[in-house]
Amino acid sequence: MKLQTKKRLKKNVYKGDTMPPPPPELAEMLAKYHGQPDALITVLEEIQRHYGYLPRHHLEYTARELSFPLSQVFGVATFYNLFQLKPPGRHQIRVCTGTACHVGHSKVILTHLKEKLGINEDETTPDKLFTLQTVACVGACSLAPVMVVNEHTHGRMTTDKSWQAIQPLHDENDVTEVES
């Protein structure tokens, strides 16, 4: 029997942290919560409020600066649907799919908006104007079906009313492009 020669194992040597320091505004946010292990969701909310979404590098900085495992930071950021990992469109459209809205045919409204905008749930239009999302409940069940455009809640929606609610935003963009 022939002896097998041992293959050399590559040694992976830790070369230290190669990430540069975080941007100053992010460093300031993170410094407020240093040493607070229960502040992760609060930090992520603040980062998203400032940047509009959670950039990947900012999640990595958060893990490093606050001493969280990166898997925990990503786990929290992907578990809660209020966090966005991609830049949203200028206008966010959220269609409620809670029980009262579901009974009020919110799925029909969602399908209508998908067709009119040419995107699916959790996608942004190519012109970066609209992001379409669903939410489990917006807490306005007496107005079902409900749609939230940016921060404005629209109740008793129909397919026609849903498009009418976002049409002025679409037209506003057309005017802005002509003026530019």
| 79-92 confidence digits (pLDDT tens) | 987 899 999 999 99
Do 30 and 55 lie in one domain? The reply is: yes
- The answer to whether residue 1 is domain-embedded is no
DSSP SS3 for 124: strand
Range of the domain at 52: 24-79
Domain count, the chain: 2
Note the pTM of the prediction, 2 decimals.
0.69
Do 100 and 156 lie in one domain? The reply is: yes
Mean pLDDT of the chain: 88
117: CATH? 3.40.30.10
Do 45 and 101 lie in one domain? The reply is: no
Confidence at residue 178, expressed as pLDDT on a 0 to 100 scale:
42
Can you give the C-alpha Rg of the chain in angstroms? 23
Counting beta carbons within 10 angstroms of the beta carbon of residue 60, is it exposed (0 to 12), middle (13 to 18) or buried (19 or more)?
Answer: middle
Helix axes 106-117, 159-179, angle to 10 degrees: 30
- The answer to whether residue 73 is domain-embedded is yes
Which residue from 42, 168, 179, 43 is spatially nearest to 93, judged by alpha carbons?
168
Do 66 and 119 lie in one domain? The reply is: no
Strands of the 130-135 sheet, one edge to the other? 123-124, 130-135, 91-96, 147-149, 152-154
Do 102 and 159 lie in one domain? The reply is: yes
Instruction: For residues 151 and 89, give the distance between their C-alpha atoms in angstroms, rounded to a whole number.
Output: 14
